[in-house]
């Protein structure tokens, strides 16, 4: 495995050809292949259907393979190939009716597996590292690194470990790092501190600041914030056991924002970058916040706790308030914030809320271009009064059991000053079952879309 990626081999020569073909290209491929290989495809009735994989004979045994792409993006088609090829085999993707680097990226994302805790590893087929573009390696590493963090059990990834992952990424790219904890954290991020008060594992905020080698003082300031709740019990408003099973992924927004930051730095984009990750655990103890408590926030607003399980917005509101003080050109956050977004959009479409139509359009277009889609939801001001509190400036939940994703976004919007171009992404960060290019487990939804947008408009 090269560059820490499953599916990437260290070899430079000797890779077998892997053909990707759509239904209308089957006859052309049959005509181009040696007769024995074409006969093998005909024997299998190969018609280019998505995910259909046929191994081709060669003089010394295996001579190549063909993967059907159907009408699916090449990203997903080659993701299917990665899981079906013989272990230890090495491949070069042959030219075809697709973008070569999209195909390679799909292969690398499909070959991913979280097996660091297994005693027996299952090697996959691999593409030759020297034939993969540097940008593709960077992007695959960013996505798979985010997946690794999301998949890591909460006993192995606490607030300190998540903060350390941010620090390691910063050190790799010579970024300025700041880790905030203890009394300083309580003073700077009082609402965030209250979320983590119930845990024996102290909260931290990890802040990374970096500037591209071609970035000047007037270059875009891109500020990223991520919800890093390493495990969410729900607090005193305790989740049922079934709802807790995947709560190690409640730091998915942090993993995605960290992966995005890693890619921005590795690509040396001409921007100024700030990253803030709130690393906390929402636990139950005598120190935990209670329903009806009133908290302070960095922005000066007081917040009544209507539900302790609506903790992610408490983490983000302090981070957003601080990030906005630098007046970034783009302020972007990601969080596994609401189940309501999943009810509205399902698991595959992150909800996008945005205060700037141009920024929203750029993000949505970028997502379509790289097959990493988002869907915009409204910041409907008519629901804003649902957050009113009788005892504080604002409640952290609504008085009505509707529009939960919109309400959460409206809560966050209170902490973003007018005039700031802000985008909030409500992600699921998980694949419930394995699909081509998308293994079951943690997923870096929106990372590639946001990178495409930033890279194309920096």
Measured from the Cβ of residue 259, the count of other Cβ atoms closer than 10 Å reads 29
Helix or strand run (H / E) with residue 24: none
Tell whether 260 and 359 lie within a shared domain.
yes
Helix or strand run (H / E) with residue 441: strand 441-442
Residue 3 inside a domain? The answer is no
Residue 1 inside a domain? The answer is no
Measured from the Cβ of residue 344, the count of other Cβ atoms closer than 10 Å reads 17
User: Which band of pLDDT confidence, cut at 50, 70 and 90, is reported for residue 6?
Assistant: confident
What's the structural domain count of the chain?
A: 2
Tell whether 170 and 242 lie within a shared domain.
yes
pLDDT computed for residue 338 by the predictor:
98
Distance CA 313, CA 340 (A): 14
pTM over 0.95: yes
User: Which band of pLDDT confidence, cut at 50, 70 and 90, is reported for residue 87?
Assistant: confident
Residue whose token pair is 């935990």: 288
Distance CA 434, CA 147 (A): 14
- For 188-242, how does the pLDDT look when each residue is reduced to its tens digit (9 = 90+)? 999 999 999 999 999 999 999 999 999 999 999 999 999 999 999 999 999 999 9
**Phi, then psi, of 152 in degrees rounded to 5:** -70, 130
pLDDT computed for residue 305 by the predictor:
98
Residue whose token pair is 């909800």: 351
Distance CA 302, CA 52 (A): 57
Residue 14 pLDDT > 80: no
Residue 382 pLDDT > 90: yes
Domain boundary among 96, 112, 132: 132
Q: Compute the C-alpha angle 262/8/349, nearest 5°.
A: 55
Tell whether 244 and 381 lie within a shared domain.
yes
Tell whether 18 and 35 lie within a shared domain.
yes
User: Which band of pLDDT confidence, cut at 50, 70 and 90, is reported for residue 3?
Assistant: low
Residue 401 pLDDT > 90: yes
Q: Which two tokens stand for residue 286?
A: 């005598």
Stretch 388-399: mean pLDDT, rounded?
97
Tell whether 50 and 168 lie within a shared domain.
no
Clarify whether 239 is annotated catalytic: yes
User: Which band of pLDDT confidence, cut at 50, 70 and 90, is reported for residue 4?
Assistant: low
Residue 432 inside a domain? The answer is yes
Query: Which residues make beta-bridge pairs with 280?
Result: 229
Give buried/exposed letters for 130-169 (b at 16+ CB in 10 A, else e).
Answer: ebbeeebbbbbbbbbbbbbbbbbebeebbbbbbbbbbbeb
Stretch 80-108: mean pLDDT, rounded?
93
Helix or strand run (H / E) with residue 224: strand 221-232
Residue 275 pLDDT > 50: yes
- Residue 119 per-residue DSSP state: S
Residue 287 pLDDT > 60: yes
CB within 8 Å of 80: residues ≥ 6 apart: 50, 51, 53, 67, 110, 436, 437
Tell whether 292 and 365 lie within a shared domain.
yes
Query: Which residues make beta-bridge pairs with 286?
Result: none
pLDDT computed for residue 44 by the predictor:
96
Residue 1 pLDDT > 50: no
Distance CA 43, CA 36 (A): 10
Query: Which residues make beta-bridge pairs with 228?
Result: 279
- For 363-381, how does the pLDDT look when each residue is reduced to its tens digit (9 = 90+)? 999 999 999 999 999 999 9
pLDDT computed for residue 368 by the predictor:
98
Tell whether 103 and 145 lie within a shared domain.
no
Domain range enclosing 269:
139-457
pLDDT computed for residue 5 by the predictor:
84
The SS3 assignment for 104 reads helix
Distance CA 337, CA 349 (A): 14
What is the percent of the chain with per-residue pLDDT over 90, rounded to a whole number? 91
Tell whether 319 and 407 lie within a shared domain.
yes
The SS3 assignment for 399 reads coil
- Closest among 426, 255, 437 to 347, alpha carbons compared: 426
Q: What is the mean pLDDT of the chain?
A: 96
- For 125-134, how does the pLDDT look when each residue is reduced to its tens digit (9 = 90+)? 899 887 899 9
Q: Give the CATH number, domain containing residue 24.
A: 3.40.220.10
Q: Which two tokens stand for residue 212?
A: 């591209």
Distance CA 370, CA 362 (A): 12
Distance CA 16, CA 90 (A): 6
Helix or strand run (H / E) with residue 331: strand 330-335
Residue 2 pLDDT > 60: no
Residue 293 inside a domain? The answer is yes
pLDDT computed for residue 129 by the predictor:
82
Domain boundary among 132, 151, 167: 132
Tell whether 346 and 300 lie within a shared domain.
yes
Stretch 115-136: mean pLDDT, rounded?
88
Annotated active-site residue in 313, 342, 413, 448: 313
Tell whether 423 and 288 lie within a shared domain.
yes
Distance CA 411, CA 398 (A): 9
Tell whether 314 and 376 lie within a shared domain.
yes
Q: Give the CATH number, domain containing residue 175.
A: 3.40.630.10
Tell whether 84 and 104 lie within a shared domain.
yes
The SS3 assignment for 339 reads helix
Residue 186 pLDDT > 60: yes
Domain boundary among 100, 132, 164: 132
What is the percent of the chain with per-residue pLDDT over 70, rounded to a whole number? 98
Residue 155 inside a domain? The answer is yes
Clarify whether 313 is annotated catalytic: yes
Residue whose token pair is 């509101």: 317
């Amino acid at each position: 495995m090269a560059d820490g990626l499953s599916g990437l081999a260290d070899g430079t020569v000797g890779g077998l050809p892997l053909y990707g073909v759509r239904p209308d290209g089957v006859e052309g491929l049959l005509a181009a292949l040696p007769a024995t290989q074409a006969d093998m495809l005909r024997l299998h009735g190969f018609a280019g259907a998505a995910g259909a994989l046929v191994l081709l004979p060669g003089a010394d045994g295996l001579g190549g393979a063909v993967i059907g792409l159907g009408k699916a993006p090449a990203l997903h088609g080659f993701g299917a190939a990665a899981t079906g090829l013989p272990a230890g085999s090495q491949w070069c993707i042959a030219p075809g009716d697709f973008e070569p680097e999209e195909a390679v990226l799909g292969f690398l994302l499909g070959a991913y597996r979280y097996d660091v805790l297994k005693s027996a590893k299952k090697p996959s087929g691999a593409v030759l590292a020297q034939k993969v573009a540097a940008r593709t390696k960077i992007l695959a590493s960013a996505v798979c690194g985010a997946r690794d963090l999301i998949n890591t059990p909460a006993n192995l990834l606490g607030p300190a470990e998540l903060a350390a992952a941010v620090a390691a990424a910063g050190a790799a790219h010579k970024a300025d790092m700041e880790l905030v904890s203890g009394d300083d954290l309580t003073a700077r991020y009082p609402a965030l501190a209250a979320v983590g008060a119930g845990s024996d594992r102290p909260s931290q905020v990890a802040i990374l600041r970096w500037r591209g080698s071609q970035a000047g003082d007037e270059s875009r300031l891109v500020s990223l914030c991520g919800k890093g709740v390493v495990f969410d019990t729900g607090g005193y408003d305790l989740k049922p056991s079934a709802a807790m099973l995947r709560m190690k992924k409640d730091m998915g927004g942090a993993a995605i924002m960290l992966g995005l930051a890693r890619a921005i730095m590795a690509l040396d984009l001409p921007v100024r970058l700030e990253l803030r990750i709130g690393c906390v655990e929402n636990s139950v103890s005598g120190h935990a916040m209670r329903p009806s408590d009133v908290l302070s926030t960095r922005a000066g607003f007081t917040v009544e706790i209507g539900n302790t399980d609506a903790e992610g917005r408490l983490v983000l509101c302090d981070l957003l308030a601080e990030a906005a003080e630098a007046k970034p050109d783009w302020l972007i956050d990601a969080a596994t914030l609401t189940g309501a977004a999943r009810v509205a959009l399902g698991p595959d479409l992150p909800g996008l809320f945005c205060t700037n139509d141009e920024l929203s359009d750029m993000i949505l277009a970028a997502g379509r271009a790289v097959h990493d889609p988002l869907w915009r939801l409204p910041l409907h001001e008519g629901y804003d009064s649902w957050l009113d509190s009788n005892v504080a400036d604002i409640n952290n939940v609504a008085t009505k059991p509707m529009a939960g994703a919109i309400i959460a976004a409206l809560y966050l919007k209170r902490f973003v000053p007018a005039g700031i171009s802000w985008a909030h992404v409500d992600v699921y960060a998980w694949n419930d079952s394995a699909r081509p290019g998308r293994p079951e487990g943690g997923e870096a939804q929106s990372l590639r879309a946001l990178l495409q947008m930033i890279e194309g408009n920096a």
